[in-house]
Structure 1
C-alpha cells in the first residue's frame, strides 16, 4: 500500500487577516487554528452529528457553516429570525463541539503590539510554523511520527495557495525548530467541497481571537474550547498548561 497514514486528520482555518499595513482597529489580530481529529471519531461521530443539525434546520446538508454568516444571520442563516431560534441553534452547535473530541493547536498574533522589527514576520507563515511544530509534538507523543498526516486548508486563491504550499513544504523539509523532516502533507480544497472539518475550524478561530483580545470578558465559546487546547505530555487538570503550547500568542 506504500505510505502508511496516521490516525489523524487536521483541518485549518484563520480569523482576521494577515496584513500588517492596514490593521482593523476592531479586530487587530490574526488567528490560525489547527483542529486535529481522530479520523475514526470524526467519521463516526462528528460528521453525522453535524449533518443531522443541518438536516433538522435546513432540510438538506449542503449548507456551509460559516461563523460570520451565522453571527450576522446571512444567507441560509436568515432562518435564525428570533433570538430564541438562534440560541437553540447555537446551543446545538456548541453541544457538537463540546461533546466531541478534537485537539487544538492555535496561534494568535496581536498585530497592534508588534514593534518594527517584529513586523518583518509574515503572520500566516509565522503561525503556520508554530502550529506545524505543535502538531509534530502531538503526533510524536502518540507515536505516529513515522506515519503521514494530512493537513487540510481552505483555498484562498491561486497565488495565495501557491505561496502557502511552498511555505508549508519549506517548514516540513526542515525549516523548523526540530531541524527535522515533518511527516505532513498539505491538501488545499475549496469551501464548496463542504468539509465539516473546515467548518469546525472556521467556528473555533474567532472565539480564540476574542479570548486574547478581550481576556476579561465572558467568552462561553472559548470555555468550551479550552479543554481541547494541546498541552505537552498530557495534563493533570483539563484546560490548563496550554499557554504558548496549544495557544501561542505573539508578541
Structure 2
C-alpha cells in the first residue's frame, strides 16, 4: 500500500479484502466552540469497524436493498445514499410517495442488525470542555483521538493492521487534520505508544459519492446512519429502534464505558 496518503488527502478505493480492518468514521453535530448554543452543545463521532473479508458482503447487502427499491439504485440520476437525515425525515429518495418506505426501512434495519461490525463512539459536551480547559483541544480532534486510540488497541490485541476512512470535509480541513494525525500514528499519543498506533497503516478521506455521483461508499453510509443514533444516546439518552439493534455491537459490550463508548461531560459521564 502506497504511503501517498501521508502527504495529501487521498480517497480509499481498495475494497478488495486485503486490508485486515477498516474503520469508517462520521460525526454528528457541529465541532466549533465559537458561538454554540445549548441546542448544539454536544458533538459526537462514531466509527464503524469492518473486517476486510466482510467488506464485499456488506456492500452486496446494501446494494441489494438499493436495487430493490430504486431503479438501478439511483434517484435523480445519482446513486442513492443512506443518509440519516433524509431517511428520518422521509425526504428525497426516501419519500414514501416514491418507495414503499416501511418495507425498505424494515429490510435496512434487519441488515444493520445482522451486519458483522464493531462500533466505537465518543461524545463531547462543549460546556464541559470549555469549563475544564482554558485552551481546549479542537472538538473534532478531541473526539477523533479517542477513536484512534481504541482502534489501535483493538488492532494490537489481534496482531492486525488497519486503515481509517473519514468523510471528506474540504481539502484544506482534510489536509490540516492529516498533518495532525500522521505524527500521532508514528509516535503515539499520551496514552498509546507509537508501536501500537503504527498498526494504523493509512488515513483516507472519502466523499459520500464518487465525483460522477454514480457510486457511493456504503461503509460511510453505515457510519452516518449509526452515528446519529449513538449521538442521541449520548446526549439525550434516547434509545431508538436502530440503536437497540446495534448496541450489542459496541466494542466490549455490555461493559462499553471507556471502551467502545466515551462520554466527556456531566457527572454521569461514561
Q: In which range does the TM-score fall when normalised by the shorter chain?
A: 0.7 to 0.9
Mapped to 1, the partners of 2:130 and 2:37 lie a distance apart of 17
Give the C-alpha shift of residue 76 in structure 1: 1.7
Give the C-alpha shift of residue 6 in structure 1: 4.3
Contact kept, 8 Å, 1:104 with 1:228, in 2: the verdict is yes
Q: Of residues 226, 241, 246 in structure 1, which corresponds to 2:247?
A: 226
Report whether the alignment pairs 1:87 with 2:111: no
Report whether the alignment pairs 1:208 with 2:230: yes
Report whether the alignment pairs 1:180 with 2:198: no
Q: Of residues 37, 54, 69 in structure 1, which corresponds to 2:86?
A: 69
Give the C-alpha shift of residue 173 in structure 1: 2.0
Cα distance change on mapping 1:85 and 1:129 into 2, 3 Å: same
TM-score normalised to structure 2 length: 0.80
Q: Which residue of 2 aligns with 1:235?
A: none
Mapped to 1, the partners of 2:34 and 2:2 lie a distance apart of 46
Give the C-alpha shift of residue 121 in structure 1: 2.0
Mapped to 2, the partners of 1:27 and 1:220 lie a distance apart of 23
TM-score normalised to structure 1 length: 0.86
Q: Which residue of 1 aligns with 2:154?
A: 138
The gaps in structure 1 that reach 5 residues or longer are 232-238
Matched residue of 1:120: which SS? coil
Provide Cα deviations, 1:19-49, integer angstroms capped at 9, x if missing partner.
Answer: 1123253343111111110111121x21111
Q: Which residue of 2 aligns with 1:246?
A: 260
Q: Which residue of 1 aligns with 2:115?
A: 100
Give the C-alpha shift of residue 94 in structure 1: 1.0
Provide Cα deviations, 1:36-74, integer angstroms capped at 9, x if missing partner.
Answer: 10111121x211110010011111232111111111223
The two structures, once aligned, show a CA RMSD in angstroms of 2.2
Aligned pairs for 1:8-87 (under 5 A) are 8-43=21-56, 45-61=57-73, 62-78=79-95, 80-81=96-97, 85-87=100-102
Give the C-alpha shift of residue 133 in structure 1: 0.6
Matched residue of 2:20: which SS? strand
Provide Cα deviations, 1:140-192, integer angstroms capped at 9, x if missing partner.
Answer: 12121xx4x22111111121111111122122122411231422211112222
Matched residue of 2:107: which SS? helix
Greater Cα offset, 85-94 or 95-104: 85-94
Contact kept, 8 Å, 1:128 with 1:168, in 2: the verdict is no
Mapped to 1, the partners of 2:246 and 2:229 lie a distance apart of 9
The gaps in structure 2 that reach 5 residues or longer are 4-17, 74-78, 211-215, 266-270
Q: Of residues 196, 199, 223 in structure 1, which corresponds to 2:221?
A: 199
